[in-house]
Amino acid sequence: MLGALWKRLPFVRLTAAVVLLLAAGEQFPLTRLPMYSTFDPVADYYYLADAAGRPLACEKYFGTSTANVKKLYRTRLRELVVPRGASEATATPVERRHAGEALLDELRATGARRGAAVPTGTVRLLRVEVRRVATVEGFARIEELLAEK
């Protein structure tokens, strides 16, 4: 019966491809293309700055994007907290700092291999949380220093 139903589907090959992509998830080159598939009432972004707090252009100094920095940081943080049964949201300040410092080391190394102008001085990793509020700008930004090295 299922076989007969399958044969009656008008786009069998496409259906099979969609089922495969949805089932496989994120296993390169397979993907569910999950970008902007859900919207939370809070968003956050990350950036890099020098010791004086001046932003450092991520592309120029590290050869990557701040969107990538965020993903890399979160993966390292999860790696630290998951073994003790915690989540990113319940990570301790020490765990957040360790994840940030490890990431800064890695950004310097991959940036140098990319031929980027990696800074020699202290670099800060900052996270900014954004929420909607009833002000003129309409948004509130809360900045947090994650690590500096």
Partner 1 sequence: MKRWLQSLRETTVGHAPWEMYVMRALLAWLMWRMLPAVVPFTAQPYPNGLARLADLTWLGDPAVFAPLRALAPIALGLYAIGVAPLLTLGYGAALLTAVGALENSQGSIGHHLQLLCLVALAQWLAYATAAVRPAPGAPRGFAWAPTDTHRRAVQAAKLMIAAAYVTSGWTKLIASKGRWIAQLPDISLQLVKTHANVYYDQYGMPGAPVTLGTDWPRLIAEHPWLTRLAFTPGLLLELGAVLALTGRRAACAVGLGLLAMHLLARTVMELGFFAHEWLLVIFFINVPWLVCVGLKRCRSDAAPP
Binding site for partner 1 (CB under 8 A): 10-11, 13-14, 17-18, 21-22, 26-45, 47-48, 55-60, 63, 65-68, 71-72, 75-76, 79, 110-111, 113-115, 128, 130-132, 137-139
Residue found by looking up tokens 């397979």 in the block: 30
The strand pair at 123-132 and 139-148 is best described as antiparallel
Query: Taking the complex as a whole, how short is the minimal distance between the CB of residue 149 and partner 1, in angstroms?
Result: 18
Q: Between 21 and 145, name the residue whose CB sits nearer to partner 1.
A: 21
CB of 92 to partner 1, least distance (A): 20
Residue 2 Cβ vs partner 1, minimum distance, rounded to whole Å: 20
Alpha helices in the chain (DSSP H): 2-8, 12-24, 58-62, 66-81, 93-114
Q: Are 83 and 64 in contact (CB under 8 A)?
A: no
**What's the chain's length in residues?**
149
Q: Which of residues 6 and 55 has its CB atom nearest to partner 1 in the complex? A: 55
Using the minimum distance from each CB to partner 1, give the nearer residue, 34 or 93: 34
Q: How far is the CB of 63 from partner 1 (least distance, A)?
A: 7
Residue closest to 147 by CA, chosen among 81, 73, 64, 40: 73
Helix/strand/coil for 44: strand
State which residue, 27 or 120, has the beta carbon closest to partner 1: 27
